[in-house]
Structures are given as structure tokens and as C-alpha cells.
Structure 1
Amino acid sequence: MSHPDSIHTTYGVLTGDSEHELVVKRSRFICYLRRVESVEEARDATELVKLEHRMARHHCTAHVIGPDRNERRSNDDGEPSGTAGMPMLDALTRFRRPGTDVADCSDIVAIVVRYFGGVLLGAGGLVHAYSDAVSQALEQATFRSRQRMRHFILDAPHTDAGRWENELRAGGITVLGTDYESRGARIRLAIADEPETSTALEQRIASLTAGARVLEDAGVNWVG
């Protein structure tokens, strides 16, 4: 298991489905990119593509799932071993989103449908075709960052809750909402799950409440 300090707090995910077709010596390679969050979802996405392309000779797949991208699988679906699934997986794991300097895309499955064009491509040709089909689809796709957020609860007197909410929002803190109860209000907050961000929030709360309130940790959640 990863040490907590090494856990990724952001990674890239698709904003929507993406498709791209590549033709190599009359063979058609159609790549579908789908966002998935489990092996089961990847399998379901693959089955839908297979239904749409029943006449295709091959439906090769690769997926990367999870914040740390630990869940990785590929399938050659009848192509010579190592000529389809692995090159596709390599394309997924090496891709860098525009404006980023690390390869961090995850929660994604690539499905490449091949219609044979009558000309044998050889092992090297297949590797390049499957890899290029995924790489080109990724270049055309759009992505956003998924952020790991840490949630907190701040207890507040009814008379101060509104003012504290406004000051926290003005300071760039995400206020998820406020629950008003008989004994007081509970302000729900969220920040990026990073040590320096938590420290800054604690200092802001100490200043805001004159040291009278302490944050309650409410766990983490992925957003995006």
C-alpha cells in the first residue's frame, strides 16, 4: 500500500466519450475512449462497442483505473500476442494532457475495433496501428482534473454562521452548505487534500473564530 504522502491528489479524466478512426492499408482501426471507474464498467463499455460492431474481426482493449493507476489490463482479442492490447495500454499510460508535465490519465478504457482490409500488416505494423489509433484518439479528446478533497465541519453559533460562511468563501474555501440545528450551525467545508492547504485552513479558522473553534475532519472524497 502506498504511503499517505505519496498518494496522488489529482489526476486526469475524460470529459466525455471520444472516437477516432485510423486506416492502415485498407484495415480500419476505430478507437473508442470511455470514462470508467471499475473493471465491470470497462467490460460493459466493451460489450456495447462489440454489439455495435458485430462484423469486426477484433475488439481489442486496454484500461487504466484508479487514482494511482494501479488497475491496468489489456486484451489482444485474437491478434498475435503483444501486438494490440499492450501497445494500447502503453499509449494510455504514457499520454500527457496538454499543459501537464506528467502522465496522469486514469479511469479510462480504450477499445479498438479492427475491420481487416485484406492486407497483412505484420507484427510491427499491428503494434504501430493499435498504438497510433489510441494516441490519436487521446490527442483529440478533452480532459479535466479530478481532485481529492478533504471535508471538514465547523461548528458555529447561529449569530456568526452567515458571516463566517461569507468570509470563508471570500478566502477561496469551498463551502458545501450549512446545517442549522437547535444548538448551533454546522458549516461544511472542502479543500484540496494537501498538507499545506489543511494547515492554511486551520490558521484561517483560528483567526476567524479567535481560537474558539476547532475543525472536525469529515473524511475525503474525489470530485470531478
Structure 2
Amino acid sequence: MQEQYRTLAHEGVHETEINRSRFLCALAPVADEREAQEFVARIRREHPTATHNCYAYVLGADASVQKASDDGEPGGTAGVPMLQMLLRREMRYVAAVVTRYYGGVKLGAGGLIRAYGGVVGEALDALGTVTRRRYRLATVTVDHQRAGKLENDLRATGRAVREVQYTEAVTIEIGLPDADVPAFRAWLADTTAGTAVLELGGEAYGDA
């Protein structure tokens, strides 16, 4: 698995005008190809009279899925530069749709490439990105007497507490970078006088 990747902070739209053509770049974080395609379809419905609705999206922490469409613009002048901008910025799980309203002035192939790639870059700057880092899911089981203090200590030391369940004992699910596991195991034993049990699970990604 990749150690980390960047994605979009939130959905949004950025608009710019180039030689009288309006370019609106809509960006959204998407979990899978279905969400990406639904986002593209929604933006197209919102702009039925637009000259073009070109798109690109990148899925997978390792960018294993990459799609782009010129939607009637000359081949390679819209979707590909949009996709290249997403990849250059190391963006993952992101869909971009650039809606163009033609203003009567032709931009030429070079102008189109700069416009479509550029408006995606501007939109990323305007909306902001977040970094997701790989971590190990871990479950700490502890008695009720120590649970409250342990949970507070975990949060105070910046641990990502994901879930807390109270049954006969208390289980606290956290996220740990792999490199931190040995030190965390020692800290946990010291903090709980060896009474807590640590179980390691699978891997996931979370906010850096």
C-alpha cells in the first residue's frame, strides 16, 4: 500500500474566463467509479446548454484507475491535461468536470490544453487538499476502571481514536502508523500496568 495520498478537502466549483469562454471546474472527492460517474452526470445535468462538459478522475491510492473525456473538444486537449494536472498534484479519489461555455474566440490546441489543465490546478488551490496517511487498525481492550483515563491519554497524545465500546470490558479502536506499534505497545503496558490487551488489525487511510 502507498504510505499516503492527497485528496480533496471538500466538493466545490471554481470559475475563470479565458478569451470570453467561461470555464467552470467542479471538483469532488469520490470513493469509487460509480460515485465519479454519478458526479459527472450530475454536473452535466446542471449545465445542459454548455458547449462541453469534459472530465477526468483518479481512483485508488496508487492511481490504479484513471479516466478522462474530451467531450467533443479536439482529442487530447481537455480530459488528458485535466488528468495530468490531478496526477501532477498527486491527487487520488478525486473527480473533476470542466464545463465550458464558448465565447466566440478559438483558443487553439495549445490554448485549450493550458486552459483545461490550468483551471483544474486553480480549483485545487482554491478548494484545498488533505493528506491521508496509511495506518494500522488496532484494538485496545481494558477494564472499566482504567478505560476513561486511557481514552483521555490516547486523545491527549494525538492518537486517532476511532470507536469506543463498553461491554464486559472496554474496547478502544485506534489507528497507528506501523512504525509506532512497538513504542505504543510499551507505552500501553506502562500506562495500564500491563492489564490492557493490544490486537492489531488491517490497514486503512486517515487524515494526516
User: Shorter-chain TM-score: what band?
Assistant: 0.7 to 0.9
Q: Which residue of 2 aligns with 1:64?
A: 58
Cα distance in structure 2, aligned partners of 1:123 and 1:114:
15
Compare 145-154 and 25-34 and name the one that shifted more: 145-154
Q: Which residue of 2 aligns with 1:144?
A: 130
Cα distance in structure 1, aligned partners of 2:164 and 2:52:
53
Compare 54-63 and 142-151 and name the one that shifted more: 142-151
2:45 to 46, 51, 66: 51
- 4+ runs deviating over 6 angstroms: none
1:21 is displaced (CA, Å) by 2.0
1:177 is displaced (CA, Å) by 4.7
1:62 is displaced (CA, Å) by 0.7
Cα distance in structure 2, aligned partners of 1:56 and 1:177:
46
1:213 is displaced (CA, Å) by 4.7
The 5 Å alignment of 1:20-59 reads 20-59=14-53
> What amino acid maps onto 1:187 in structure 2?
T
> What amino acid maps onto 1:151 in structure 2?
L
> What's the TM-score once normalised by structure 2's chain length?
0.86
Q: Is the 8 A contact 1:175 1:187 kept in 2?
A: no
> What amino acid maps onto 1:38 in structure 2?
D
Aligned residues: 207
1:202–1:17 CA distance, 2 compared to 1 (3 A): same
Q: Which residue of 1 aligns with 2:171?
A: 187
The 5 Å alignment of 1:201-220 reads 201-211=184-194, 213-220=196-203
1:200 is displaced (CA, Å) by 1.5
- Percent sequence identity is 38
Cα distance in structure 1, aligned partners of 2:11 and 2:163:
32
Q: Which residue of 2 aligns with 1:120?
A: 106
RMSD: 2.2
- 1:13-48 CA distance string (max 9 Å, x none): 222222222222222221111111111111111111
Cα distance in structure 1, aligned partners of 2:163 and 2:118:
46
Q: Is the 8 A contact 1:65 1:71 kept in 2?
A: yes
User: Does residue 197 of the first structure (1) align with residue 180 of the second (2)?
Assistant: yes
Cα distance in structure 2, aligned partners of 1:140 and 1:68:
24
User: Does residue 84 of the first structure (1) align with residue 68 of the second (2)?
Assistant: no
Cα distance in structure 2, aligned partners of 1:120 and 1:220:
49
1:222 is displaced (CA, Å) by 3.3
Q: Secondary structure at the match of 1:215?
A: strand
- 1:161-188 CA distance string (max 9 Å, x none): 3444344444433444543434xx1331
1:212–1:76 CA distance, 2 compared to 1 (3 A): same
> What's the TM-score once normalised by structure 1's chain length?
0.81
Cα distance in structure 2, aligned partners of 1:26 and 1:161:
63
